[in-house]
Structure 1
C-alpha cells in the first residue's frame, strides 16, 4: 500500500518524505499540507478497495463516491462531482516543460459518457464476451479520454484499475505495486496513452498500444510475485535468501529492491545479510545514506 500510494501520487508530482508517507499510510499521523491531504485521500480509497472491492459496483455514482472520499481531507468543492470546466491531459517532464497530449470531452458531455462506459463495461463483463483484462484496459482508456474530474483523473484511473482487477479475480496488486511499475517509466505511460487517444473522438482510435502496455505491467507484477513466492517457499536462512535475491537483479540495486523480493524478512535481517555479502566480497556497496546501492562482484 505504501508503494502504491507513494508512486501513484508521485506520477502527478505529489510527494512527501519516505517517513511521512509510511506514517500517513499506517494512519499514524495527520496530513500537514495539501500534498499530504491528497496522499491520505488516496490511502483511504485504496484501503476501501482492498477491503470491500466486491461491494463496489462499477457505476458513475460509486465512482463519484470514491472521488469524494479521495478529497475528503481537504476543502474541494468539486469532490465527488464531474468537471465543470474543460480540462486537458498533459505531461510534465523533469526539465519543467508541459505537453498537452489530448483534449478530453467537454464538461457537459461528461456525465452521460461516464454512464455509458460503465454500462458497456458491465454488459461485456456480464456476458463474458471478451477477456476481462482487455475489457478493463479499454474501460480505463475510455475513462482517461473522458477525464471526468477537474483534478485527480490519473490517480482515480489507477485506483479503478486495481478495483476492476480485484473484481475480476486478479489480486496481484495486493502484493506487487502496479503504480510503482508505471511510475518507473512515466514517459512510456504518457507515450502509449497519447498513441491510443489519437482519433478517440472520431471512434477511429487504436487502443492496442495501451492494452499491450497495461498487460505488460500486470504480467511483470505477476512475475515479481512468483519470484517472491519462490523465495518465501524455500524457507532458507536470511543470508541465502538475500543472496538469491541479489542474483535476480541486473546491475545496481538498492536495499528496497531486495526487500521487495524478500517480504518474509525484516529490514534488519536484510541489512545484516547485505553487510555479510559485502564483507565476503560477493557484493560491492556504493554511495551513502539514501543513495546506497549494491552490485554483484561474482
Structure 2
C-alpha cells in the first residue's frame, strides 16, 4: 500500500479503492498549487475583516451573486436566460408554475441554492442528502418527474454545448448504471473520512469530490448543476464562509472551454493506474482564486463608494441592489425626501456611473450600472 501503510485500520476494505486512487503521490503538489491554496486560505482568514459591511449590504452582495450563479450554472448546461431574465423570474417565484424548461431549471436551482445557504450546517454529505438535493433541483422540471432523486437507469455521457445551446461533442463517458450506487457510496465515504481525519487539505477534498462525482455522473440529468451546488455546500461545510457572496458558477461559465478541457483530461484517467489529477485541481483552484478576487474587489468598491457618497445616495444604491431597480417614487416613499432633491441625487449617480437610466418621464427607472 506504500503511502497508506499508516492509515487507520478502521478504514473498511470496500473504501480502499478510493483511498488508493487519491494517494498523496498521485497528485504533484506544485508551487502553483501551494500558492493558490495559500492565497485562498489567506482570504478565508481575512473574511471576517472584509465582511464587516452592514447586513443589508452583504445581503445585496449575496443577491447579486445568487442571480449570477443561477444564470451561469443553467447556461453552462444549455439554458438561454440572461441574468436580467433570471432576476425577473426570481421576483415571481411564488407563481410555482413555469412555462419553459429554462424557467423550470432556474426556479429549481434558485430554491436549492437558498436551501444550502440557509441550512448548510445541517446538510451532511450522505447519499440521501445528495438525492434530496437532486430532487429539489428538478422540482419544477416536468420532463424529469420520473427520475429526480433517483440514480440513473440508462447509460449517459457528458456533452459540451456552445453559447447557443447546441451540443458540440461528447466530453467523456461515465459510470454504468450498475456501478453507480457503489461508486457514489465509496465517494461519500471518502469525503467524510478525509474531512474527519484531515489527511488532505479541504480544498483538495472538494476538488476531488467534484471531479469524481462528475465522472460517475450518477443521475440521468442535472449532474452538472448539482455538482456546482454540492461544491458550494462542501466549501461552506469546510469553513469557506464567503462563497455565497461571489459566484463561482460565473467564473466557470467565462472559462467554459478550460472547464471542459480540465474535466476531460482528468476524468479520462481516473480509473487507471496513474490518475492525472493535475489539470482539474489546477483549474478548480484557479477558479476559486478568481471567485475570491472578485469578492475582494466588490467589498473594497462598496467601502469606497459608501465613504464618498451622501447618505441619500447610499440609500438609493442599497435599494437598487436589493430590488434590482429603483424609481423616484420608490425612494420618495422610503425616505420622505423631496422629489426634486431625489432627482439631483439620481442624476449624480448616473453621471458617476453607479446607475443607468431606463425609459423616460413617468416610466423612468434606474438600475445598477
Range class of TM-score, shorter chain = 0.7 to 0.9
Instruction: Render the CA deviation track for 1:173-228: whole Å, top value 9, x for unaligned.
Output: 21111101111121111011111112222242211111111111111111222222
How many residues are paired up? Answer: 259
Q: Is 1:53 the counterpart of 2:53 in the alignment?
A: no
Q: How does 1:210-229 map to 2 (within 5 A)?
A: 210-229=280-299
- TM-score (normalised: structure 2): 0.64
How much is the aligned-residue C-alpha RMSD, in angstroms? Answer: 2.7
Contact 2:76 2:161 in 1 (8 A): no
2: CA distance between counterparts of 1:149 and 1:188? 24
The CA deviation at 1:276 is 2.2
2: CA distance between counterparts of 1:203 and 1:49? 36
Q: How does 1:194-233 map to 2 (within 5 A)?
A: 194-233=264-303
Alignment partner for residue 73 of structure 1, among 133, 140, 151? 140
Range that drifts further, 12-21 or 128-137 = 12-21
Tell me: higher relative CO, structure 1 or 2? Use CA pairs within 8 A at least 6 residues apart. 2
Cα pair distance change 1:182/1:28, threshold 3 Å? same
Contact 1:89 1:100 in 2 (8 A): yes
Contact 2:67 2:83 in 1 (8 A): no
What residue is the counterpart of 2:351 in the other structure?
Answer: 276
What residue is the counterpart of 2:260 in the other structure?
Answer: 190
Instruction: Render the CA deviation track for 1:66-98: whole Å, top value 9, x for unaligned.
Output: 101111113320000000011111212347452
Contact 1:91 1:190 in 2 (8 A): yes
2: CA distance between counterparts of 1:264 and 1:25? 13
What residue is the counterpart of 1:12 in the other structure?
Answer: 77
Range that drifts further, 211-220 or 146-155 = 211-220
- TM-score (normalised: structure 1): 0.79
What residue is the counterpart of 1:141 in the other structure?
Answer: 211
What residue is the counterpart of 1:283 in the other structure?
Answer: none
1: CA distance between counterparts of 2:150 and 2:115? 19
Q: Which runs of no fewer than 5 residues in structure 1 stay unpaired?
A: 240-258, 279-293
Cα pair distance change 1:49/1:203, threshold 3 Å? farther
Contact 1:67 1:80 in 2 (8 A): yes
Q: Is 1:237 the counterpart of 2:308 in the alignment?
A: yes
2: CA distance between counterparts of 1:159 and 1:36? 18
1: CA distance between counterparts of 2:191 and 2:90? 31
The CA deviation at 1:44 is 1.2
Instruction: Render the CA deviation track for 1:211-246: whole Å, top value 9, x for unaligned.
Output: 11111111111122222222233333349xxxxxxx
Cα pair distance change 1:133/1:271, threshold 3 Å? farther
The CA deviation at 1:18 is 4.4
Query: What secondary structure is seen at the aligned counterpart in 2 of 1:63?
Result: helix
Q: Is 1:129 the counterpart of 2:199 in the alignment?
A: yes
The CA deviation at 1:267 is 6.2
What residue is the counterpart of 2:334 in the other structure?
Answer: none
1: CA distance between counterparts of 2:72 and 2:167? 21
Range that drifts further, 194-203 or 75-84 = 194-203
The CA deviation at 1:137 is 0.3
2: CA distance between counterparts of 1:159 and 1:182? 13
Alignment partner for residue 180 of structure 2, among 110, 120, 128? 110
Query: What secondary structure is seen at the aligned counterpart in 1 of 2:284?
Result: helix
Cα pair distance change 1:146/1:265, threshold 3 Å? closer
Instruction: Render the CA deviation track for 1:87-120: whole Å, top value 9, x for unaligned.
Output: 1112123474521121111001001100100001
Query: What secondary structure is seen at the aligned counterpart in 1 of 2:307?
Result: coil
Cα pair distance change 1:228/1:160, threshold 3 Å? same
